[in-house]
Chain A
Amino acid sequence: MSKKILEVKNLETSFYTHLGEVQAVRNISFDLHQGEILGIVGESGSGKSVTSLSVMNLIEDPGEIKGGSIRFSPNVDDNFIDITKMTREQISQIRGNDISMIFQDPMTAMNPVFKIQNQMVEVIQRHTDLNKEDAIRRAKDLLGQVGIPDPEGQITDYPFQFSGGMRQRAMIATAISCNPRLLIADEPTTALDVTIQAQILELLKKLQNKIDMSIILITHDLGVIAEAATHVVVMYGGQIMEKGTVRDIFNNPMHPYTRGLHKSIPTATKEKKRLIPIEGSPPDLLDPPTGCPFNPRCPHAMTICTEESPKMYTVSDTQSSKCWLMDEKAPKVKGYKKPKGAK
């Protein structure tokens, strides 16, 4: 197993709005190793973006990381630092340098009033000692790497002169400009056309190989996960429902929510079958249901599900699932087999 580079433990992030506390992320833990592509999947509002922003320590007023730790190892010699405890200045040294992030909507994620060149050079110069010419050269080179056809001419364009896909490429170029160890991509393809989606995913995979970085790939689309991820975290209502390798999640989903997600997406093999959306709507995080957040929508909910939050049951070495059905006292439900070593 390769080196661990990120360890998120018991992370809790809330927003204090005038309506009350929105518990966007509730006590989640996961690890990420060198070279992995970790997919975080879940319906919209399940706390994926808040999780990734917490990792960047980018949560802003009225939000706050309430508890837990986010330990990150910026270099090879395993010196872990806790991102939640860093000062503004320290964290800004890390951002864009060791951890980079790209966002969902490339139309709004670039500053409309500065040229692409300006925005890229600024980042390169922030984290390297390159002079302006060298930085420009590097920027052009990066644009070429991400597949911009004419870096020389297009680098002096403004973002609005780029198409959506082009802009996302430029965003990626900026993000990888300092060879980060970790790239967080928050729904990088959601706003793009289907054909472009595939190209961007391809590009990410290629770059990941080339500069040996890890990626956290956030999406609400299991298809994207299947295509690109090596590991998966399934989120619902601000909590992790299930985690495992791609193989685990696709071949042996243990959580009713994960199964629900499977049923609700079209796949080539299931073409003839009717799509079954998960009934009901995601929980109100201002006042989340007691017990398991999924219980109001769960087809197999039990009394305990409405009262107590389930533990994370270990399914296998690589997979664990946060569901009472895994408990030995739970009744047998068709299609679910309880793990042997469940605690």
Chain B
Amino acid sequence: MKRYYIKRVLSALATIIIIASVTFFIMKFIPGGPFTREKKIPQSILDSLNAKYGLDEPLLIQYKNYMLRLLQFDLGVSFKQQDTTVNEMIAQGFPTSAKVGILASSLIVLVGIPIGIISALKKSSAIDYSVMFLATLGVTVPNFVIATLIIYFFAGQWNILPTSGISEGPLSYVGPMIALAGYSLSFVARLTRSSMLEVLRQDYVRTARANGLSEFKVIYKHALKNAMIPVLTYLGPMIAAILTGSFVVEKIFVLPGMGRFFVESVTNRNFTVTIGFTVFYAVFYIIMILLVDIAYSIIDPRIRLDS
């Protein structure tokens, strides 16, 4: 049992190292390096810039330095604003992103799972049809559309919510939260429903009924715990969807989060920032998956005892 957890942690570490390396080498493939601009920079300046950032060293030395810096959680400096470090940008943006992300995740878990269950239990009822209709819309309408619709109606036409920024207190989080949660909420509701229906068809549910257990116990003990297994598996990747979804949502709602820096770095070709954020996101993601896996193994004994 302990072995399972140790194995998971080690493989997460290995994955992080692989991701950091792959990211590093991918970025090295960019022809001309980070200082290529539309305007030509004189060769002498280019040389000195390269020397300053150690880009004139052999690739492997650069790689070693990069990894050593990573070990100290140092993600480097921005090539465009040369007095800011990537760490500073993350520190600046993370609290907002995290707040919106946590709100959205809670919404997904606290709303998505219950409505999925209700839908499954009331299969083919009006409730089921309307929940599934909304959920289908939710997974087919891109989040930038949801975001803009929220702004257009709730902020623009009806004046219920602020249009952008986070200056107006808790209300300003509502729009981003819904836009961010929309897709995953719908997906989780659908997944919970189909998983629940699948489990309710299982032999062991019939056994539980045949043993005379109360309907409440059959559903909320026997069915639910099994039905949550696939949902839980999805929750890990969902966090990634939320993080990456936040690029768009933060852009539309003009939130001072990390997504904005990331998108800006992409459009400005600010490569060091792009790498830094990618590595940060990836590590965050892997840790999330690790946590989900551990939760998963607690629910499903086959995972932790079978290895």
Chain A residue nearest to B208 (CB atoms) is A111
Does A110 sit at the interface, judged by CB under 8 A? yes
- Segment at the B interface, from A72-80, A120-128, A239-247, A250-258: A120-128
A92 touches B207 (CB 8 A): no
A108 touches B202 (CB 8 A): yes
Chain B: interface residue count, which band?
Answer: 20 to 34
Q: Which among B209, B211, B212, B215 has the highest number of chain A CB atoms within 10 Å? A: B211
Does B222 sit at the interface, judged by CB under 8 A? yes
Fill in one digit per residue for A98-132: 1 if any B CB lies within 8 Å of its CB, else 0. 00110101001111111000000011001100000
B301 touches A122 (CB 8 A): no
Chain A residue nearest to B223 (CB atoms) is A111
Across-interface contacts of B225 in A (CB, < 8 A):
113-114
Fill in one digit per residue for B30-42: 1 if any A CB lies within 8 Å of its CB, else 0. 0000000000000
Chain A: interface residue count, which band?
Answer: 20 to 34
Across-interface contacts of B10 in A (CB, < 8 A):
none
Does A171 sit at the interface, judged by CB under 8 A? yes
Across-interface contacts of B305 in A (CB, < 8 A):
158, 161
Does B99 sit at the interface, judged by CB under 8 A? no
B222 touches A58 (CB 8 A): no
* CA of A158 to CA of B303, assembled, Å: 12
A95 touches B212 (CB 8 A): yes
B211 touches A113 (CB 8 A): no
Chain A residue nearest to B204 (CB atoms) is A111
Q: Which of A88, A105, A109, A114 contacts B215 (CB 8 A)?
A: A88
B204 touches A96 (CB 8 A): no
B300 touches A92 (CB 8 A): no
Does A94 sit at the interface, judged by CB under 8 A? yes
* CA of A228 to CA of B207, assembled, Å: 24
Does B83 sit at the interface, judged by CB under 8 A? no
Does A232 sit at the interface, judged by CB under 8 A? no
Interface positions of A from 159 to 190, Cβ below 8 Å from B: 160-161, 171, 174-175
* CA of A136 to CA of B301, assembled, Å: 21
A92 touches B302 (CB 8 A): no
Q: Which of B209, B300, B306 contacts A58 (CB 8 A)?
A: B209
B226 touches A113 (CB 8 A): yes
B217 touches A122 (CB 8 A): yes
Q: Which of B202, B214, B299, B306 contacts A92 (CB 8 A)?
A: B214
Does A51 sit at the interface, judged by CB under 8 A? no
A109 touches B212 (CB 8 A): no
B123 touches A113 (CB 8 A): no
B207 touches A171 (CB 8 A): yes
Does B102 sit at the interface, judged by CB under 8 A? no
B210 touches A96 (CB 8 A): yes
Across-interface contacts of A175 in B (CB, < 8 A):
211
Interface residues of A (CB under 8 A from B): 56, 58, 61, 88-89, 92-97, 100-101, 103, 105, 108-114, 122-123, 126-127, 158, 160-161, 171, 174-175
A-B complex: 7 closest residue pairs judged by Cβ atoms:
A96-B212, A95-B212, A96-B211, A108-B203, A111-B204, A101-B210, A109-B203
